[in-house]
Structures are given as C-alpha cells and as structure tokens.
Amino acid sequence: MRYRYLAAASALVLASPAYALGTDSTAASAAAAQPDSGQLTPEQRAQALQELQDLQARMRRLETVLGVPNTPPPPVAAPVAHKGMSADHNLELYGFLQLDAIQDFDRVNPDWDATLRPSRIPTIKGQFGSDGQSVFSVRQSRLGAKATGTIAGKPYEAKFEFDLYGTGVDAGQTTMRVRHMYASWGPFLAGQTNTLFMDGDIFPNVIDYWGPAGMVFVRNPQLRWTFWNRNGWKAAVALEHATNDIDAGNLRLIDESISSNIRNDEKMPDFTAQVRYAGDWGHVQLAGILRRVGYDTIGTADNKPKGHELGWGVDLTGSFKASLATFRLGAVYGRGIATYMNDGGMDLGPNAAVIPQPGTLVLVPSAEAVKLFGMSAYVDLNWSKKWTSAIGYSFDQVDNTSFQAPDAFHKGQYASVNLLWHPASNIFTGGELLWGKRTDNDGNSGKDLRFQYSFHWDFSSKNLWSLFD
C-alpha cells in the first residue's frame, strides 16, 4: 500500500509542481541544460543540494496530505578512502561484438581463414584445397575490464582484455586469447601489453583482424619505465619477454638429427626504448630494440651446436592530419626482429661456408640474424560523421640466408580499401576488399583476394544506457 501512495505522490509531483510548494523549476531546467562534464563546480553542487532538499520537502508534504507514514530510508555510507588511497576509483567493463562475413576468392591456410596473413597464403596450387571459401567469424569480439584512479597521488590503471581469436595450439579455434593484462602506477608498468618497439597509432581503420604485414605489432609481458612525459614528449624503456623464431633450413642435408633438435635459447630479456612527440597535428615516434637471439640443440653433448647472434632494430613511425585525411606511416629495419613483426619472417637462419680440406670440401654451418625491412602506408578518410574509409599498402621482406630452404618466406604484401557506415557513435558496418601475396625464397608466389563485410557494436558500462537513447 505504501508503494501505491508513493506512486501517486510521484505523479502529483510531476503533474502539479505548483501544488507541491510551488517551487520555481527554472533553476532545475537551467541545470539540466548544462553539459555533463562528469564533475560539478561548487556552485552547481550547492544548487543541486538545494533542489534535492526542496524535493524532499515536497515528498514529506505529500506524505502528510495522503496519510503515508514517514519512515526515512537508512543513510547511505560514503565511500571510505583507505590509508594512502583517494576515493577516486573507477571500474569499467567494455568491449564489442563483431561479426565478419568473408568471401575468399582464393585460399589460405584453413587455421587462418578468418583473416588475411600473407605468410599463410600457399605458393603451391591446391595445397589447402580448391579456391573459393565462405567464412563467418565472431573471433574479433572483445571483452575487457579496466580500473583507474589515484593511489598516493599518482594515477593507476589495471586492465584485463581478451578476444576470441585462437592462435598457437588454438589456431583456427574460437577461444579466449589474452590481449592485455597489466597494471601501471605513475611511470611504472608491469604485465602484458603493446611492446615499446611498436606504434599502435599507425594501425589503420581496417576491419580485417590481423592488418598490415609490414608494421611492428606484438603484445609482450614486460617491465616498463616512462621516465619523461611532459610538453608533448614521452620517453620510455622496457625489459620484455624474448621469443626467438629459428629456421633450421637445409641443415637436414648435413645432419637430420641436429636439424630437428635445434631450439631457441632465450637467456636474456629484450631491451626496448621509445621516444615520442605528439601534437594536434598528429605524432612522430622513434623506437629501438636490442636482443640476444640464441639457439642450442637438445639430445647432444653440452647441447651443441649452440650460440647466439645480436638482434637489433629501428622503427620510425608517425601519423599526420590534413583536413579529412589522417596519414599513418611507418618503416622498420633490423636484424633478428621478425618475432616483432605483424606477419612473416624468421629471426635466425642458417648459413653454410664451403671449407677446402685435403681431398674434399666440407660444409661448415653457422647462424645469422636475418635482415628484415618493413613498411606500411595508409590513409584514413573521414568523409562525414557517418562515412569513413581506409586505403593503403604494406609489406615486409627478409634477406634470406644462404642455407635456407627454397620454400622459406621471403616477402609478404598486403593491401586493402574499405567503406564504413557509422549510424551511431558505437555502431559501424561496411565492406572491405583485401589483397595479399606471398613470395618464397625460390621466387614461387601465391595470391589471395577476398571481400569482408563486418557488423560492429561497442559497449561500455560507462555509457550503457546511452545505447538506448
């Protein structure tokens, strides 16, 4: 019965504000017209408290008129800030749902048919079956949680984010794949996120999952220190998890058991560094890496043959805004850095020198950190608030060593163009035409042409109800 009285009282308040003490609604209307900045000024806070007190007085008057017992609700406890912590803490659940409908006019490795990776294009006709495949995928869909706030006067952020694109032993599966898992406090960061050697801001507005082959793109577990961050400049260094990609090549011609038992040897973390300057016009970034690319052999005395080579790389990137266009450019060069590339290549490859011996010639194998060059050039076009496009080209190429196999990866090329419609700020849909080509060490090549249509819907606990406006 009490709820019935409260409902009647609410209706009276809404329908007859003059009856409920005749308070002036002008101030409330003016306050509602103000943009929501997320924080109230002292004047706005005082005005809001006064309006709340007026509303409570109206309700008490109506309860008295209707004979409803006045039993105030229990007070709500204010958040308690623990020692060393402020009350400024936020938790956001976010993500997106995406469906990709792909018509592949050629063929790629079936474990990777939901995206275009040049390194997965066959160079032997019919290797993975006949051409022309239809693919529907939700693997790009993503879910994450992010906590932000201030501890001891320094901002913090903790993030856990995953998508459904299986890789490694889960390649080809729709299964959980961790993208980010880290915590940062002030200038320090620990956990898995984008490598410092990478510039995520040159990734174009493509709907294909993997994206340009010729850019650095990997997320590594790391310890990071941002020692400079002011006036648009940022500088940081990090120690990152090392992973080596070793190609045994033609070593089987010398010793099959050694060729099949060579393994990567990671005795030291990779060292990365980054300097960046950003402004209203865009940004420019220079990043570098030093790494030990090691190998040894299992099942042999003292794990020989074994050894290591020096890996290093330089990555120069930038984005530049011009009217409706944003140009996203990057070039990377180095030795033993294929692990950090978005697609293709190897860190370490075999060489073989011919050494004359009395009455014979002897092949003496050695290891070499493989040279690699990659570039990416894209432009994002904002035709209007509802229509956008991205068009560009990217490639990466390795300088194969003398003892690699004929079918070893040599070059991967990637190009795309799309047109996307954004009917709301959190929704887009559209189509993309993609082309890729792989070239092997011996010159054999394979191509792939495909069309992808995608529907994408973002969501966040911060603006959940705005989805229904």
pLDDT higher than 50, residue 134: yes
Q: Where are the beta strands (DSSP E) in 152-197?
A: 154-165, 174-185, 188-194
Number of domains in the chain: 2
Predicted pLDDT of residue 258: 81
> Per-residue pLDDT averaged across 295-307, rounded?
91
Read off the pLDDT of each residue in 335-341 and give the average, rounded to a whole number. Answer: 98
pLDDT at residue 184 above 50? yes
The rounded distance, in Å, linking the Cα atoms of 35 and 315 is 42
For the stretch 217-257, pLDDT in tens is 999 999 999 999 999 999 999 999 999 999 998 888 778 88
Q: What per-residue confidence (pLDDT) applies to 12?
A: 41
| Residues 203, 275 within the same domain | yes
* Terminal C-alpha separation, the chain: 33
Per the DSSP assignment, residues forming a β-bridge with 368 are: 349
DSSP 189-206: EEEEEE-TT--GGG--S-
- Please name the residues in contact with 390: beta carbons below 8 A apart, sequence gap of 6 or more: 204, 205, 206, 378, 379, 380, 381, 416, 417, 418
* Run of H or E including 49: helix 42-66
Q: Is residue 58 located within the same domain as residue 165?
A: no
Nearest to 166 by CA among 154, 153, 179, 150: 179
Evaluate whether residue 82 is within a structural domain. Answer: no
Does residue 10 fall inside a structural domain?
yes
Q: Are 90 and 147 in contact (CB under 8 A)?
A: yes
pLDDT at 16: 43
Mean pLDDT of 121-137: 96
> Based on the domain organization, do 56 and 109 belong to the same domain?
no
Whether residue 139 is found in the same domain as residue 284: yes
Residue 5: its pLDDT value, please? 43
What is the average per-residue pLDDT within 254-263?
85
Residues 273-287 pLDDT 10s? 999 999 999 999 999
Q: In this structure, are 232 and 176 located in the same domain?
A: yes
pLDDT tens string 138-159: 999 999 999 999 999 999 999 9
Chain mean pLDDT for the chain = 87
Are 311 and 438 members of one domain?
yes
pLDDT value, residue 35: 44
Q: How confident is the model at residue 72 (pLDDT cuts 50, 70, 90)?
A: low
In a domain, 462, yes or no: yes
Is pLDDT larger for residue 316 or for residue 464?
316
- Examine the domain organization and report whether 117 and 9 are in the same domain: no
Residues 461 and 364 in one domain: yes
Same domain (yes/no): 59, 182:
no
148 and 189 belong to one structural domain:
yes
Placement of tokens 């050697």 in the chain: 197
Domain hosting 172: range is 95-468
163 and 235 in a common domain = yes
Task: Say if strands 282-297 and 262-265 run parallel, antiparallel, or are unpaired.
Answer: antiparallel
What is the pLDDT at residue 73? 53
Note the pLDDT of residue 48: 75
162 belongs to a structural domain: yes
**197 to each of 235, 333, 340, 449, how far by Cα in Å?**
12, 12, 8, 30
In a domain, 83, yes or no: no
Mean pLDDT of 191-215: 98
- Residue 213 binned pLDDT confidence (cut-offs 50, 70, 90): very high
Beta bridge partners of 414: 394, 436
Q: What pLDDT score was predicted for residue 86? A: 52
Prediction pTM value: 0.80
Q: Is the residue at 294 inside a domain?
A: yes
Peptide bond into 305 cis (omega under 30): yes
Between residues 438 and 46, the one the model is more confident about:
438
Lowest-pLDDT choice from 180-194, 322-336, 454-468: 454-468
Q: Where are the beta strands (DSSP E) in 300-426?
A: 307-322, 325-335, 348-357, 360-369, 371-382, 387-399, 409-424
Which is more confidently placed, 254 or 399? 399
* pLDDT for 52: 78
Given this model, what pLDDT does residue 40 score? 66
> Cα dist. 200→170, 237, 296 in Å?
25, 17, 34
Residue 74's pLDDT is 54
Distance CA 106, CA 411 (A): 19
Position 89 in a domain: no
Q: Are residues 134 and 19 in the same domain?
A: no
**87 found inside a domain:** no
The 8-class DSSP code of residue 141 comes to -
Q: How many residues in the chain?
A: 469
